[in-house]
């Protein structure tokens, strides 16, 4: 496949699939994640934005894996149900059932249901809308198969001019991708440091474009659970909206005088 075809495949991926069912495996290696922050900070001459980096305790397992059963629908609707958790907490989403009906996002806690305004999820941001990959130099390595579908194996190298911001997975200089050869979404994204994997998100047992009863995305409220509804709260004001007496100057990262 020519480079231009691969770029076009990635760019339009988010609009090519109506619904998706499957399993989502999220895996992280703690010490290598720490190393990725060091390498990302040193190797990039571009400014560093907000870095989200948890400090591991002495008793924290080196690796963690969470598996979710996921359903993705149109209009920002999604549903995640946790299947398993081993090792340290991976942190791509709160533990437990959660979802979004397109207007309200919800999360089932121990004895309550927390409801907020609709927001995106890590599955879309990292795998189903891979336009962010276009900030990398791409090398097509070959073809493979995932969930019975043809995928392209791609090595992505972040351009030195790309600003680094976010969590451990965002710090990767190199990553291995499995790109759906027809739709362009990612079946897997594995961040690498020193040639070794340290953070991975992978879709398995995928079913595409199957009709979905939209009630599956509605908030789940067990009998007796308290509902904490913040969906009608006004949006949190931006810093320059909170204090109009100051002059704000926006750069990367945000600074003021």
Q: Per residue in 136-175, pLDDT tens?
A: 999 999 999 999 999 999 999 998 876 666 788 888 999 9
Q: Which helix (H) or strand (E) holds 122?
A: helix 122-123
Tally of structural domains, the chain: 1
Two tokens at 232?
Answer: 């009608």
- Beta strand 78-87 pairing with 104-108: unpaired
**Any idea what DSSP says for residue 214?**
G
Region 63-88: what's the mean pLDDT? Answer: 96
Is residue 213 within 8 A of residue 47, CB to CB? The reply is no
Residue-level pLDDT at 37: 84
In a domain, residue 252? The reply is no
In a domain, residue 242? The reply is no
- 104-133 pLDDT, tens digit per residue, is 999 999 999 999 999 989 999 999 999 999
Domain CATH code at residue 64 = 2.50.20.10
Two tokens at 152?
Answer: 């392209």
Residue-level pLDDT at 254: 46
In a domain, residue 219? The reply is yes
pLDDT at 255 over 50: no
- What is the rounded CA–CA span in Å between residue 246 and residue 257? 8
Is residue 143 within 8 A of residue 19, CB to CB? The reply is no
In a domain, residue 139? The reply is yes
Domain that holds residue 167: 3-234
């Amino acid at each position: 496949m020519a480079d231009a075809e691969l770029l076009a495949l990635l760019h339009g991926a988010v609009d090519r699939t109506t619904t998706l069912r499957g399993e989502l495996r999220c895996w992280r290696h703690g010490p290598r994640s720490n190393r990725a922050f060091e390498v990302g900070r040193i190797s990039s001459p571009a400014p560093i934005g907000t870095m989200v980096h948890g400090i591991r305790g002495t008793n924290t397992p080196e690796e963690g894996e969470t598996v979710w059963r996921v359903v993705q629908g149109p209009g920002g609707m999604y549903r995640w149900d946790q299947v398993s958790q081993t090792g340290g907490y991976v942190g791509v989403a709160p533990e437990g059932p959660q979802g979004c009906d397109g207007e309200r996002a919800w999360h089932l806690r121990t004895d309550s249901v927390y409801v907020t305004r609709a927001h995106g999820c890590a599955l879309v941001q990292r795998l189903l809308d891979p336009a962010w990959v276009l900030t990398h130099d791409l090398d097509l390595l070959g073809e493979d198969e995932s969930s019975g579908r043809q995928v392209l194996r791609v090595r992505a190298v972040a351009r030195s001019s790309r600003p680094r911001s976010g969590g451990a997975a965002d710090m990767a200089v190199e990553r291995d991708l499995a790109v759906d050869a027809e739709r362009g979404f990612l079946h897997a994204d594995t961040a690498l440091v020193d040639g070794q994997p340290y953070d991975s998100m992978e879709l398995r047992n995928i079913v595409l474009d199957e009709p979905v009863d939209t009630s599956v995305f509605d908030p789940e409220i067990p009998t007796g659970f308290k509902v904490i509804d913040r969906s009608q709260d006004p949006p949190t004001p931006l810093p320059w909206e909170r204090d109009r007496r100051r002059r704000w100057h926006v750069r990367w990262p945000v600074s003021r005088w």
